[in-house]
C-alpha cells in the first residue's frame, strides 16, 4: 500500500512539472497554432540560469532563502527573455508562411539552443545544488512524500491559480482569449496581437523556467539535453489533454505523470520513455482532439 501511495505522489510530482511546461505549449498553440518545438529548450535554459545564479550566490555565501528567491527570479526573467527573442527571430517573420515552415524553424531553434548551451557551458552533467531543505515536519511522511515533492506540488498549485486568475479576470487575459478565438477579429477591436503573442511566450517561458528550477533541484543534476525529452513529454501531456485547452494541459500532465510512475514502478523502468511515446501515438490515433479539446472540422 505504501508503495502505491509513494508511486502516486511521485506521479503527481512528475505531472506537476509536465504541467508547468505543457502550459507553454498549449497557450502558444491556442494563440498562433504553432507547436513551439523550442519550448523544451527554454525550460532547459531556465534550469541552467537557475543553476548558474544559485551557484554564484552560494559561493558568495548568501542565505538559502535569498538564493532560492533570486535564482528563481533570474530563471524566470532570462527564460522569458529567451522565449520572447525566439518568437521574434524564428516565428514572427513566418506568421503568414505555410504550416511546415514555422515548424521546421522551431526544430532548428531547438537544435540551436541546445548546442548553444553545450558550447557555452558543458556537455557534462552538472550537480545542481539542493535548494529545498528537508523540512522537519515532513519526517513522518518521508517514505511516501519528500519535502521537495511537497514544494513542487504547492508551487505548481499556486502557479495554476495565478494563471487562471490572470486569464479569467484581467484585461490581458481577456485579450489573450480573444486572440486565441479569432486573431483577425481581435485586431479589429483594437487588441495589439503582436504584443499578446509576445506576452503569451513570456508567460509560458516563465512557467517552464520555474518547472526547470524545481525539477533540477529535485533530481539534483542538469545537462544541456534535458529539454528535449521533457519537452516531448510535456507536449504529449498537452495533446493528451487537448492542445489549446489550459485545464486540459494540466489534466493531461497528471494523467501522463501517474501513468509513467505506475508503469515504471510496476512494469519496468527501462521502458519509461517508451510508455510516454506509445501513449502519445495511441492518443493521436484514437482521439486526436484529446480529453478536453474541441474536435475541429476543417473547412474549405
Bridging pattern class, strands 126-127 and 221-222: antiparallel
Site for other proteins in 205-264 (CB under 8 A): 228, 232, 235-236, 239
Q: Which of 5, 127, 161, 162 binds other proteins (CB under 8 A)?
A: 127
| Nearest alpha-carbon partner for 129 in 218, 197, 195 | 218
70 binds other proteins (CB under 8 A): no
> For the purposes of burial, counting CB atoms within 10 Å of the CB of 70, is it exposed (0-12), middle (13-18) or buried (19 or more)?
middle
278 binds other proteins (CB under 8 A): yes
Q: Which of 6, 8, 73, 94 binds other proteins (CB under 8 A)?
A: 94
26 binds other proteins (CB under 8 A): no
CA distances from residue 90 to 85, 103, 124, 181 in whole angstroms, order as listed: 8, 10, 28, 23
The whole-angstrom separation of Cα 23 and Cα 250 is: 7
291 binds other proteins (CB under 8 A): no
147 binds other proteins (CB under 8 A): no
Element (DSSP H or E) covering residue 15: helix 2-32
Residue 172, all three cell numbers: 490581458
292 binds other proteins (CB under 8 A): no
The whole-angstrom separation of Cα 15 and Cα 44 is: 17
117 binds other proteins (CB under 8 A): yes
Our CB check for other proteins shows the closer of 81 and 178 to be 81
Q: Which of 24, 40, 102, 252 binds other proteins (CB under 8 A)?
A: 102
CA distances from residue 104 to 75, 78, 101, 200 in whole angstroms, order as listed: 27, 24, 5, 21
Our CB check for other proteins shows the closer of 80 and 179 to be 80
Our CB check for other proteins shows the closer of 101 and 170 to be 101
Q: Which of 5, 101, 170, 219 binds other proteins (CB under 8 A)?
A: 101
Q: What is the dihedral of CA 174, 175, 176, 182, to 10 degrees?
A: 110
CB of 77 to other proteins, least distance (A): 10
Q: Which of 9, 18, 43, 48 binds other proteins (CB under 8 A)?
A: 48
Burial letters 31-67, b for 16+ CB under 10 A, else e: bbebbbbbbbbbbbbbbbbbbbbbbebeeeebeeeeb
Residues 163-202 vs other proteins: string with x where CB under 8 A? ----------------------------------------
Enumerate binding residues for other proteins (CB under 8 A).
34-35, 45, 48-49, 51-53, 55-56, 59, 74, 78, 81-82, 85, 89-90, 93-94, 97-105, 107-121, 126-127, 129, 228, 232, 235-236, 239, 270-271, 273-274, 277-278, 280-281, 284-285, 288, 298, 300
Amino acid at each position: 500500500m505504501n508503495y502505491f501511495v509513494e508511486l502516486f505522489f511521485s506521479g503527481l510530482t512528475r505531472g506537476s512539472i509536465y504541467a508547468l511546461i505543457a502550459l507553454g505549449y498549449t497557450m502558444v498553440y491556442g494563440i498562433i497554432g504553432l507547436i513551439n518545438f523550442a519550448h523544451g529548450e527554454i525550460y532547459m535554459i531556465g534550469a541552467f540560469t537557475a543553476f548558474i545564479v544559485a551557484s554564484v550566490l552560494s559561493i558568495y555565501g548568501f542565505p538559502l532563502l535569498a538564493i532560492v528567491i533570486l535564482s528563481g527570479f533570474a530563471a524566470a526573467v532570462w527564460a522569458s527573455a529567451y522565449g520572447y527573442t525566439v518568437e521574434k527571430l524564428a516565428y514572427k517573420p513566418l506568421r503568414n508562411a505555410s504550416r511546415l515552415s514555422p515548424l521546421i524553424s522551431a526544430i532548428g531553434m531547438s537544435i540551436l539552443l541546445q548546442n548553444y548551451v553545450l558550447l557555452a557551458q558543458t556537455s557534462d552533467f552538472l550537480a545542481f545544488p539542493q535548494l529545498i531543505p528537508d523540512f522537519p515536519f515532513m519526517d513522518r511522511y518521508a517514505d511516501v512524500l519528500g519535502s521537495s515533492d511537497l514544494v513542487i506540488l504547492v508551487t505548481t498549485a499556486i502557479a495554476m491559480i495565478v494563471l487562471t486568475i490572470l486569464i479569467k479576470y484581467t484585461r490581458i487575459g481577456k485579450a489573450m482569449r480573444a486572440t486565441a478565438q479569432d486573431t483577425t477579429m481581435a485586431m479589429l477591436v483594437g487588441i495589439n496581437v503582436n504584443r499578446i503573442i509576445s506576452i503569451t511566450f513570456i508567460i509560458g517561458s516563465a512557467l517552464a523556467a520555474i518547472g526547470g528550477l524545481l525539477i533540477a533541484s529535485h533530481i539534483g543534476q542538469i545537462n544541456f539535453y534535458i529539454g528535449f525529452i521533457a519537452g516531448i513529454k510535456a507536449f504529449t501531456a498537452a495533446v493528451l489533454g487537448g492542445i489549446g485547452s489550459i485545464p486540459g494541459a494540466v489534466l493531461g500532465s497528471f494523467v501522463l505523470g501517474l501513468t509513467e510512475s505506475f508503469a515504471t514502478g510496476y512494469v519496468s523502468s527501462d521502458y519509461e520513455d517508451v510508455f510516454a511515446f506509445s501513449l502519445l501515438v495511441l492518443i493521436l490515433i484514437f482521439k486526436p482532439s484529446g480529453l478536453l479539446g474541441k474536435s475541429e472540422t476543417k473547412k474549405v
